[in-house]
């Protein structure tokens, strides 16, 4: 069976946590695609949200993880892509719910707000929790539907 791929990226505020997350994913059964950044030089989080979003949209990855100082900028940027359902989480329960109810395909973490142990617990929950479907299916479909979602205002 081919491993599923998870893309990960961070800005300078999240680069250390990104390294820890990659290590923690080693035995998870997921292939990790590291899309940067790799150093402490200041970079712009929208650029990194975009490369992860594109890797999901073009089928290179099934899911993504984005890390910045607060997780807020990454989540705003990633959710500008209709195919992306990015969830900014703060603990295991919010992570489980974003998978079970929202079928989130991108996890956003705030490295300056979460301790490493909590962040890694969120990652574990994100890669192991399945979407429940059922009543949530229709709601999730509306998120990226041209007629039902905010993007309709641009038509
Ligand atoms: C970078 O200093 C910081 O603004 C960024 O990591 C993030 O928190 C933005 O939302």
108 alpha carbon – ligand 1 mean position (Å): 12
Q: What is the pLDDT of residues 24-78, one digit of tens each?
A: 999 999 999 999 999 999 999 999 999 999 999 999 999 999 999 999 999 999 9
Helix axes of 116-128 and 92-100: crossing angle, nearest 10 degrees: 20
Q: Dihedral of CA 111/59/54/145: which sign?
A: negative
- The answer to whether residues 44 and 77 touch, using CB atoms and an 8 Å cutoff, is no
Protein residue whose Cα sits closest to atom 9 of ligand 1 = 73
Atom of ligand 1 nearest to the CA of 73: 10
Q: Is residue 12 annotated as a catalytic residue, yes or no?
A: no
pTM over 0.85: yes
- pLDDT at position 22 over 80: yes
Q: Is residue 101 annotated as a catalytic residue, yes or no?
A: yes
Question: Residue with structure tokens 């059964």?
Answer: 29
Q: Choosing from 12, 68, 98, 122, which is the catalytic residue?
A: 68
Q: What is the pLDDT of residues 113-141, one digit of tens each?
A: 999 999 999 999 999 999 999 999 999 99
């Amino acid at each position: 069976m081919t491993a599923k791929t998870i893309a990960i990226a961070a800005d300078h505020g999240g680069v250390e946590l990104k390294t820890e997350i990659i290590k923690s994913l080693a035995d998870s059964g997921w292939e990790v695609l590291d899309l940067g950044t790799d150093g402490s030089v200041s970079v712009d989080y929208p650029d990194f949200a975009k490369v992860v979003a594109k890797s999901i949209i073009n089928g290179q990855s099934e899911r993504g993880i984005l890390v910045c100082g607060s997780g807020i900028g990454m989540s705003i940027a990633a959710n500008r892509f209709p195919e992306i359902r990015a969830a900014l989480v703060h603990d295991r329960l919010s992570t489980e719910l974003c998978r079970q109810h929202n079928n989130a395909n991108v996890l956003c973490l705030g490295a300056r707000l979460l301790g490493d142990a909590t962040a890694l617990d969120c990652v574990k929950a994100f890669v192991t929790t399945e979407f429940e479907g059922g009543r949530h299916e229709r709601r999730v479909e509306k998120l990226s539907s041209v007629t039902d979602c905010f993007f309709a205002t641009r038509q």
